[in-house]
Amino acid sequence: MPKALWKPGTMIYPVPAVLVSCGTQREGFNIITIAWTGTLCTDPPLCYISVRPERHSHAIISRNREFVINLTTERLARATDWCGVQSGRDVDKFKEMHLTPLKASKVKAPLIAESPLNIECRVVDIRPLGSHDMFISEVAAVHADESLISPAGAFKLSHSRPLCFVHGHYFGLGRIIGKFGFSVRKKKR
């Protein structure tokens, strides 16, 4: 298949669209929408977010060295987009988007109650990379909606209808194509 040469850029998609909550007191809570986030390591559990230094949340996270990654759903698509285009310098995003801050168990930043999964993070390193700074963080705690945990103890995140971001657009998940290891699983006779 012929390939077109494309300018160098950030083309690894899809990525999760998450709401990152920060701040240590109700009047200083903020939410920033992040698409540049991910897992770095399993043991110890490390993840990251990348934030532009001029964003309001950058200073809050730098000062407090903690935040919460709140996974989003199709139901949260409008709030996810809105929190990404409005500044917490000017508005209370929790109030405007009717989101509920919940007390976290290990950090002072709030969880977002409407999110199906909340990941409490403590910053262990801040790496200036150019347009963005990467906040490398240790996972301090994880909270999952009980309604998404099966009787066998499996977390069924797909049932929450997760939201992802692909080059300027939000998408829900499609149909299941396979399960980890399906390519090498022996067929039952």
Q: pLDDT tens digits, the chain, 189 residues: what are they?
A: 899 998 888 888 999 999 999 999 998 999 999 999 999 999 999 999 999 999 999 999 999 999 999 999 999 999 999 999 999 999 999 999 999 999 999 999 999 999 999 999 999 999 999 999 999 999 999 999 999 999 998 889 889 999 999 989 999 988 888 888 888 887 776
Q: Which H or E element spans position 62?
A: helix 56-64
Q: Which of 65, 158, 73 is nearest to 112 (CA)?
A: 73
| Residues 15-172, CATH architecture | Roll (2.30)
Amino acid occupying residue 129: L
Domain positions in the chain: 15-172
**CA gap 152, 46 in Å, rounded:** 27
Stated pTM of the model? 0.93
Sequence letter at residue 153: G
